[in-house]
Chains A and B, each alone.
Chain A
Amino acid sequence: MAAEDRPADVLGPAAREAGGRIRATLAARFRDLDLAEDAFAEACVRAAQTWPGEGVPRDPAAWLYRAAFRAALDQRRRQAVRLRLQPDPPPPSPTAEEALVDDARLIPDERLRLIFVCCHPAVAVEARAALTLKLVCGLSTAEIADAFLIAEPALAQRLVRAKRKIAEAGVPFEVPSPDGWAERMDAVLSTLEIAYAKAHADAAGAGPHAGYAEEMLRLTALLVQLAPEDGEARAMAALVRYAEARRPARLDDTGAMTPLSEQDPALWRRSLILEANVHLAEAERLGAQSARALNAAIHGVWCSRRSLSDPPPWRRVLILYDAMLERRDDVVVRLNRCVAVAEVKGVDAGLTELSALPGPGLARFQPYHAVRADLLRRAGRRAEAAEAYTCALDLAAGPAERLWLERMRRQVAD
């Protein structure tokens, strides 16, 4: 017992830190996500009631696990009685010896199973990330609703529906077999990628996504730790780290965004870049060749820049975008490739590529107008550029990007 610790200061962090592991273990054991969540919540309530009187336990996580486990058994027994079925015999109480086991040995790590359950292809796409953040990372429904910019009741309903589907459709609490692994891991990583894109798009980092970008660092680290031999998971971990490393340089003093090629590498978080380099090297060793892995490689090329006096690595970036186009041919990749083409082969070549982009939906695609405006400005076509900047501003842009677009529009309007 550590008498000097105030219970209230210990419970929050302990619950946050161990919650994912405890919920995952209970979910795997009882095959019931709601039961796992409720039992853990009950354990936290009991901790809040008893720790102030009895003192903080030596190992708070182990205490919470035992209390949650007992709460889950209790609930199950009550359910069994309600159904008039013979309840399972209660498990033997923990012995004195067991009470000395620390949490790392006591609580098996079932979080990978839980992640695969939350991101199972049978779960609605729009619920997967939220479910993962809630059950594995312990974010509250309110926090997730903030991050995804949806109303809390709507999100709560989505979560309820997803959990019911998992229970009723018989989604297994298992890691997939080797022949299904790649497809299922892809479903997990795509879920995280989409969720992260939302966080990354918020350049200001002051919005509700900021804290949850940090959560993506933790979640990808966890995934790599649980599935160390999966190259795609490594690529995802690298991708998030490179992108987060640059966050401090993404805004200038006025709060406007700074384009990647103009960011001062001295402001980037070196420690994250070094971590990302390790993950990317592992991804390559493990043979990861997806569009995601190439995207991570592109980020890696940018983050290898040490100062603004180094020439921007556009040639290498273009080669990687060419390779990426063979794997993921969509408008986002093509648009990014146009930017690289304009740098390597000249603005006119970039504009030619841009005009060849497939039409439908493009008019409503904000990044298209932003890129087009920039290329027109550099080609000296000022009136057209001003018009394109206006189009980009009319479509939803974040505050940092607005400031930058407005500044650019003033340049061509003068």
Chain B
Amino acid sequence: MQYMLLIYEDESVFASTGDQAAVMDVVGKHMALSQSMGAALVNGAGLKNTDAATTVRTGAGGKQTLHDGPFAEAREQLGGYYLIDVPDLDAAIALARQVPLYAQGAIEIRPLLTHGEHKNG
């Protein structure tokens, strides 16, 4: 089963004024984790900060608007993801627990829709 591990943390901790050694430590841990995931890892990436984000919003009636920034302002931002392929939720939780964070944050585990599956209420 494929799951997306969505990494949410306060991106301001990675600002240039921060502790670069600590940031590099987190990066190193991500690399080590990717290695140790082996075949379970489909792919993954870090995302640039939300000040690089642009959002296309489609409202009622199909009207589209474009704006600068992420879709929602929040205390923690989506900062990266892992796409993994593991047998079940427990295996996904075990990997999510190992995702390094700079300080605090959250890893959301979302199963992917499989072929032929549709979103339902």
Contact = CB atoms under 8 A, between A and B. Distances in A.
A55 interface: no
Interface residues of A, number: 11
25 contacts: A83-B116, A122-B89, A122-B93, A168-B111, A169-B89, A169-B109, A169-B111, A170-B1, A170-B3, A170-B88, A170-B89, A170-B92, A170-B111, A171-B88, A171-B89, A172-B87, A172-B88, A172-B89, A172-B90, A172-B91, A174-B88, A174-B90, A176-B90, A180-B90, A180-B94
Contacts of B92: 170
Interface in B77-116: 87-94, 109, 111, 116
Nearest to A83: B116
Counting chain B residues whose Cβ lies within 8 A of the other chain, the interface size class is 10 to 19
Interface of A: 83, 120, 122, 168-172, 174, 176, 180
Interface of B: 1, 3, 87-94, 109, 111, 116
A83 B91 CA distance: 28
A83 B117 CA distance: 11
Contacts, number: 27
The winner among A83, A120, A172, A180 for most chain B CB atoms within 10 A is A172
The 10 residue pairs across chains A and B that have the minimum distance between CB atoms: A172-B88, A170-B89, A170-B1, A170-B88, A171-B89, A169-B89, A172-B90, A169-B111, A170-B111, A122-B89
B30 to A, nearest CB: 23
A122 B1 CA distance: 16
A169 B96 CA distance: 14
Contacts of A169: 89, 109, 111
The winner among A120, A168, A174 for most chain B CB atoms within 10 A is A168
A180 B90 CA distance: 9
Nearest to B117: A168
A30 to B, nearest CB: 15
A120 B93 CA distance: 12
A170 B90 CA distance: 8
Contacts of A180: 90, 94
A172 B92 CA distance: 11
A174 B94 CA distance: 15
The winner among B3, B88, B90, B93 for most chain A CB atoms within 10 A is B90
B64 to A, nearest CB: 30
A170 B110 CA distance: 10
